Chain A
Amino acid sequence: MSKDNTLGEILRKQGVSRRGFLKFCAATASLMALPPGMAPVIAQALEKARRPSVIWLSFQECTGCTESLTRSYSPTVEGLIFDAISLDYHHTLMAASGTAAEAAREAAMEQSYGNYILVVDGSIPTRNAGFSTIAGVSNRDMLLDTARGAAAIVAVGTCAAFGGIPHANPNPTGAVSVSDLIKDKPIINVSGCPPIPVVITGVLAHFLTFGAIPDLDSHGRPVAFYGKSIHDRCYRRPFYDRGLFAESFDDEGAKSGWCLYKLGCKGPTTYNACATTKWNEGTSFPIESGHPCLGCSEPDFWDGGGFYKAISTPTEDIGRTAVYAIGGGAAAGLALGAINRAKRNKAEKEHEQVTIDDLEKGD
């Protein structure tokens, strides 16, 4: 595929009909909460877009993000658009390795310097450069070097966006997120463990259509996909509102699809599009499969006080604290009471009778 082909030409070659393409554009517009009138604009822009060069760097990660995006399901328009970008470097997916692979990265950087999109998955170790290297180059150096010529950076997955599991307590490698190291480039955080495939294609489609990064929330995530909490969009929400909760994973409540709040669901504090876009071709999402949301698209979700502990419950043993406090309080109270009694008795003893004569003598 030549780089000079437009996306429209590439998609038609791949057998995507005009109708299928427009449907994708309409769906993307609605996903990104754009007015329906924007669909033709998206279509027009995507039609004409040249294949953007994408460099994909993988650092301290599990490849789950790449798996999510590439092995999601049978080819769709989103998948083809993803194919239609010029993925010039991705050391998991590319055939080349070693020096040849690094040469491809350097060539891509040189050819589209200032214009390529840098995708990063995985966190970056800072404690020791040797913890994670690629072709002898530390993750930190490779990121800083590659970021220099990037038009924008997409941090894919919670590790790249917020540090993820390598960053979890006690963070042995001193792992940090992309935005911890890079301050002078637009960074789009596509968090999730892994993130939803359509979210990354949506972000790319937005970038190709408008030539700018989408609106981001306070965590640098596209508002279009991370604007609503799982809880607000959850189909089990009516059960929460009615106070009907599953108490265990196999009780009647669980079987009847009641709310999983008591089982530790982090839906109320988690922002992602799972409840609307769902996974595996819209089949379901974790809560629909009967498991509480882990909050995987939020910073520090590994250290959030336990996956199976309800958000409103204490993370420490409050009952024991109260028992000790009662003991301490009782001892202190009795001691103070005894002091007060002694004071009163002493005052009573020192009490002197005063007569009118005594008072008159004082004059």
Chain B
Amino acid sequence: MMTETQLLVWLRGPALQVAIAIFVVGVAVRLLEVLVLGRKADLAEARGSAVAGGMRTILMRSFPDRATLQRAAFTEITGYIFHIGFFVTLLFYAPHILLFNSALGISWPALPTPVIDATAVVTIITLVAVLIHRLTNRVMRFLSRFQDYLVWLLTILPVVTGYIAFHRIGVTPPILIAIHIISVELFLIVFPFTKLMHAFTLFMSRYYNGAIAGYRGVKS
């Protein structure tokens, strides 16, 4: 049987390699499939710059929109909170930066662990609120499919397991860290084949939307 140490070394080594390979190949294939298909040539005369319009929309859609805020305040605010929280814990926790540094060769300063700790708690609470909203709002529930719940689970798991591993609740730390790594590897493996792909495709769809409007010389 595998000991805790062997399990951890396997998860940090071969298992991570497989997960990264599936993630990268999957994302590359899905993005290229869309890009290679191309778009129909617009035969109308250009009234503005498609590129400028596209770029502008990529940027502007990152900021909250007043009309949406009025219509769906809860979705918009919780959306911002858990996305920012997720990325802060992912990118500014010192051990995570070491991981990026060893894989990509780049490094940046870390945030103090109490800040990361608090951010993780806020992220978890917000994600739970998002799920409750999805379950209680009739329209949301009607629109939700299995994959929406799967993606929610895959997103909250790394945060929860990381939080538990940091606070050493329950089993031994190597097992806690192993569970955390497994949750991340699952996230990576499933990512390219689910709605999680929005992390990449959102830029493409925003660009296309903006480019169409930009070409016509209208606001997107």
Contacts and interface: CB of A to CB of B under 8 A. Distances in A.
Contact of B17 (A261, A301, A313, A321): A321
A12 B98 CA distance: 56
A340 to B, nearest CB: 6
Contact of A316 (B16, B24, B27, B95): B16
Interface in B1-36: 3-6, 8-9, 12-14, 16-17, 20-21, 23-33, 35-36
B9 A333 contact: no
Contacts of A301: 5
Contacts of A232: 168
Contacts of B30: 333
B102 A318 contact: yes
A319 B3 CA distance: 27
A96 interface: no
A338 B20 contact: no
A332 B174 CA distance: 37
Task: Summarize B's interface: helix, strand, loop or mixed.
Answer: helix
Contact of A337 (B20, B36, B94): B36
A300 B6 contact: yes
Contacts of A261: 94-95, 98
A242 B113 CA distance: 6
A299 B98 CA distance: 25
Contacts of A313: 12, 98-99, 101-102
Interface residues of A, number: 46
Interface in B163-180: 168, 171-174, 177
Contacts of A319: 102-105
A336 B94 CA distance: 39
Contacts of B171: 218
A285 interface: no
Interface in A290-342: 298-301, 303-305, 310-316, 318-319, 321-322, 324-326, 328-330, 332-334, 336-338, 340-341
A333 B112 contact: no
B103 A318 contact: yes
B8 A305 contact: yes
A321 to B, nearest CB: 5
Interface in A236-291: 240-243, 245, 261-262, 268-269, 271
Nearest to A305: B9
A303 B95 contact: no
A336 B33 contact: yes
Nearest to A217: B172
Nearest to B2: A300
B103 A322 contact: yes
B110 interface: yes
Contacts of A271: 172
A168 to B, nearest CB: 11
A66 interface: no
Interface of A: 218, 229, 232, 240-243, 245, 261-262, 268-269, 271, 298-301, 303-305, 310-316, 318-319, 321-322, 324-326, 328-330, 332-334, 336-338, 340-341, 344
7 contacts: A218-B171, A269-B174, A304-B5, A314-B99, A316-B17, A337-B35, A340-B37
Interface of B: 3-6, 8-9, 12-14, 16-17, 20-21, 23-33, 35-38, 94-96, 98-99, 101-105, 109-114, 168, 171-174, 177
